[in-house]
Amino acid sequence: MAKNKSIEAWKQECPLIQSIINYDEVFWENDAYTEVNRVIGSLPLGLNDVLEAEERLKRFAPYIAEVFPATNKNGGIIESPLEQIPSMKRELENIYQTPIEGKMLLKADNRLPISGSVKARGGIYEVLKRAEDLAIAAGIINHSDDYRKFASNDFKEFFSNYSVVCGSTGNLGLSIGIMSAMIGFKVTIHMSEDAKQWKKDLLRSKGVVVVEHADDYSKAVEEGRKESLADPNSYFIDDENSITLFLGYAVAAIRLKEQLNEQGITVNGDHPLFVYLPCGVGGGPGGITFGLKLVFGDYVHCFFAEPTHSPCMLLGLMTKEHDQISVRDFGLDNKTEADGLAVGRASGFVGKVINELISGVYTVSDDQLFVLLSALADQEGMKLEPSAVAGIIGPVGLCKNQHHYLSKTNVISIMKNATHIAWSTGGNMVPDEVWQSYYERGKRKYQEFGIDSVNKN
């Protein structure tokens, strides 16, 4: 039973569920997709909320530049490059025997300073907002002050009375742990036992308390929440429900618009933009999608990518049960090397906000992720982690057989003007020897099975 309905009944309603249960790769088109103007007014958040988040990050920029020298050349604004990947595009066309119309770029959040993943957007933003809220309440800062004050010993002393807690499969913990430790907060990260060892080691080296849980991720989050609620000076960052995290991610859209402008890339009624975002619990890709729809309206089309073993957002959207069902309800094991995406139950808050904004969701097998990871290294010299490559294959699914979505949205005749952006969500923090083992696994898979087998999906 999955939420008062047998799996058989669900299959009747959503035939794709059989393939999902078989761990087959699927490409789901969202039939609830609606024009932005008919949706945006009824959402709980709007452009002003995103602009406010951007302003807050600007106030903190001088502080960030001071304490994280890697952000200095960008004035303390934590941002990643937008890069052309022509060789990888050719390789995709070759491997999957599918022409991809338009140009292809990579939004390289694997190179975001401080924590090397998309979590440097939401996670760092929420820690900074918490610090600002406390400092304002205590009367030690106001918006027009020089925020470099946050680097002073007095401030660190003040923040040492407060703690930050979160549950994480890895990268969120890294971002929140590193930022909180820098502010001076006491910080505890709850992780599942199978979280990557190097992530736990790195956090501990920064003075972060890492608590390991034998059960899965949701259990870790639950433990964290309980501990935090028992202490009034403790603040729990809840990646399933946090509006603050979501808005931190959404700021990416404003930055992307500037980068596209700088590179002379047009997005309008004749030049569609397709964005492919790896999805775990949904906050990162959901926040970015929300921001992109505010900025580009119907000219942008956002797709999420999930592992075949953890398609929680896909099942949540498809059944409209959102966080009321989990992948385990359908017998899926939630086991994937893509640890950033290994989430069995999606955020209900995010699912409801993006329900009509998201164009579709597709799934990718772990083998496929490793093949993409090594291909991207060979073609473009880029080092991503397995979760982060899930977006790269998006254009293949969409362009294959002139997908129905393209006719539904009337873009077939303008696809030659399209821009495809795969959002690369992490990689820079992966230790070399760990990354090398990913690379070799990808090469092995590719050679072992050859193009035909990768192709069969």
Among 134, 141, 281, 294, binds ligand PLP (CB under 6 A): 281
Q: Report if residue 341 touches ligand PLP, rule: CB under 6 A.
A: yes
Q: Does 116 bind ligand PLP (CB under 6 A)?
A: no
Rule CB under 6 A: say whether 394 interacts with ligand PLP. Answer: no
Q: Which of 80, 171, 355, 368 is in the footprint of ligand PLP by CB under 6 A?
A: 171
Q: How far is the CB of 282 from ligand PLP (least distance, A)?
A: 5
Of 56, 73, 49, whose CA–CA distance to 147 is shortest?
56
CB of 350 to ligand PLP, least distance (A): 8
Q: Which is nearer to ligand PLP, 102 or 307 (CB)?
A: 307
What three-state secondary structure class fits 281?
Answer: coil
Distance in Å, CB of 321 to ligand PLP, minimum: 18
Could you say whether residue 395 binds ligand PLP (CB under 6 A)?
no
Residue 135 vs residues 127, 172, 178, 237, 242: alpha-carbon distances, Å = 12, 24, 19, 18, 21
Which span sits near ligand PLP by CB under 6 A: 111-119, 208-216, 251-259, 398-406? 111-119
Question: Any contact of residue 387 with ligand PLP (CB under 6 A)?
Answer: yes
Q: In what order do the strands lie in the sheet with 273-278?
A: 27-29, 360-364, 300-307, 273-278, 419-424, 103-108, 82-84
Helix (H, G, I), strand (E, B) or coil at 235: strand
- Hey, is 116 helix, strand or coil? coil
Which region among 261-269, 325-333, 385-393, 449-457 touches ligand PLP (by CB under 6 A)?
385-393
Q: Among the candidate windows 52-60, 142-150, 221-229, 280-288, which touches ligand PLP by CB under 6 A? A: 280-288
Which string of b and e fits 301-311 if b means at least 16 CB within 10 Å?
bbbbbbbbbbb
Distance CA 138, CA 125 (A): 20
Question: Among 56-64, 99-107, 153-161, 275-283, which window interacts with ligand PLP (CB under 6 A)?
Answer: 275-283
135/288 with CB nearer ligand PLP? 288
Does position 117 bind ligand PLP by CB under 6 A? yes
Determine, following the binding rule CB under 6 A, whether residue 248 of this chain makes contact with ligand PLP: no
Q: Is 189 a binder of ligand PLP (CB under 6 A)?
A: no
Q: How far is CA 455 from CA 88, 89, 274, 365, 422, in A?
A: 16, 16, 22, 12, 20
388 binds ligand PLP (CB under 6 A): yes
Q: Is 164 within 8 Å of 126 (Cβ atoms)?
A: no
Q: Rounded to 5, what percent of the chain is helix, strand, coil?
A: 55, 15, 30
Beta partners for residue 421, in sequence order: 105, 275
In the list 102, 395, 426, 442, the residue contacting ligand PLP (rule: CB under 6 A) is 426
Positions that interact with ligand PLP (CB under 6 A):
117-119, 171, 278-285, 340-341, 385, 387-388, 425-426
